[in-house]
Structure 1
Amino acid sequence: MDDDSSIREVAHLALELVAGWRVTTAASGTEGWQRALSDRPDAMLLDVMMPGMDGLTALRRLRDDPVTRDIPVILLTAKVGGIEQQKGEDGPPAGVIAKPFDPMTLADEVAALLGWQR
C-alpha cells in the first residue's frame, strides 16, 4: 500500500508482470489494513510515510490482530536509516526496501526478503 498512485502502479506492474503474483493495492494505511483483514494476503508491501494512518501505525494494527498478525510485511521508505531504529517496536517487518526502488528487481528483492523462490 502506498498513497502515491504512481508508486502503487509501478509496484503492481512489477510484481504481477515480472513475478506473476496476484497483487491488490491500497491507497492508505486504513484501506490496506482493512484489505488484509478481508483478503488475508500472503505478504504486504507497506509505505511508511502516508497521511492518515501511516505505515508504522498500520503495521502495529496488523500485529495486534490475530487474523493479520503473521502476514509478512515489507516496509517501503525513502528514509531507511530512520526505520531501522523502529523495526522491533511494532513486531519486526520481514524487511525494508528503499524508495525509489528498481521495478525490474522489485520482485527479486521481495522474494529474497520473504525466502520465496522465483
Structure 2
Amino acid sequence: MARTVLVVDDEPHLRELAALSLERVGGFTALTAGTAAECLAAVAEHHPDLVLLDAMMPGTDGPGTLALLRAGAAGAGVPVVFLTAGVQRHQVRALESLDVLGVLSKPFDPLELPAQVRELAGWRG
C-alpha cells in the first residue's frame, strides 16, 4: 500500500507540483491543503503518513500549523517535514529545532522530492 503524504502550501501551483511529483515519481498517494484549517481537517480525516508543510503561509504559518497539529489527537504523532523558501541558515536552524523530521528548500526538484521525503522519513524504496 502506498504511503500517503499531505502537501500543505498556500501556493496552488507549488502544492500541485509537489503532489504530482510525489505521486508520479515517488509512487505515494498525495493529498493537498492550502491552509492550516484544511491541513487539520485532512489529517483528522485521512491520517496521512507524513505532512509536507510550507513554513511561510499567510494567516497561520507553518510553525503555527505544526503547533495546532501537535495539540490535537489526530496530528500529535504525524511526521512533518517543512518546505521553505527561507534558506538562510538561522531560518533553517529555527525550523529544525521544532518537532519535525527535517527541512527541505523551495524551489524543489520534482524529480528529487520523493527521494528526499523518503530519506527524511526513513522509508525504504
TM-score by length of 2: 0.87
**CA distance, structure 2, for counterparts of residue 109 and residue 87 of structure 1:** 15
Cα distance in structure 1, aligned partners of 2:94 and 2:24? 34
Give the aligned residue type for 2:81. Answer: I
How far apart are 1:83 and its partner, in Å?
Answer: 3.5
Give me the CA root mean square deviation.
1.2
Matched, 1:61 2:61: no
Mapping 1:32-51, distance limit 5 Å = 32-51=39-58
**Could you say which residue in structure 2 is the equivalent of 1:83?**
92
Secondary structure at the residue paired with 2:81?
strand
Cα distance in structure 1, aligned partners of 2:59 and 2:38: 11
Q: Deviations over 1:26-70 (max 9, x none)?
A: 011221122111211110100011111111111001111122111
| Alignment partner, residue 102 of structure 2 | 95
Question: How far apart are 1:86 and its partner, in Å?
Answer: 4.3
Q: What does residue 15 of structure 2 align with?
A: 8
Equivalent residue in structure 1 for 2:28, among 17, 21, 41: 21
Higher normalized strand content (fraction of residues): 2
Are 1:116 and 2:98 counterparts? no
Letter of the 1:62 counterpart: L
- Structure 1 alignment gaps of length 5 or more: none
Q: Using a 3 Å threshold, how does the CA distance of structure 1 residues 86 and 20 change in structure 2: closer, same or farther?
A: closer
Query: C-alpha displacement at 1:20, in angstroms?
Result: 1.2
Alignment length (residue pairs): 116
Q: Kindly provide the amino acid, as one letter, of the partner of residue 86 in structure 2.
A: K
AA of the residue aligned to 1:71: V
* Distance in 2 separating the partners of 1:116 and 1:59: 22
Partner of 2:4: none
Q: Indicate how the Cα distance of structure 1 residues 84 and 37 shifts in structure 2: closer, same or farther if over 3 A, else same.
A: same
Aligned to 1:70: 77
Letter in 2 for 1:7: L
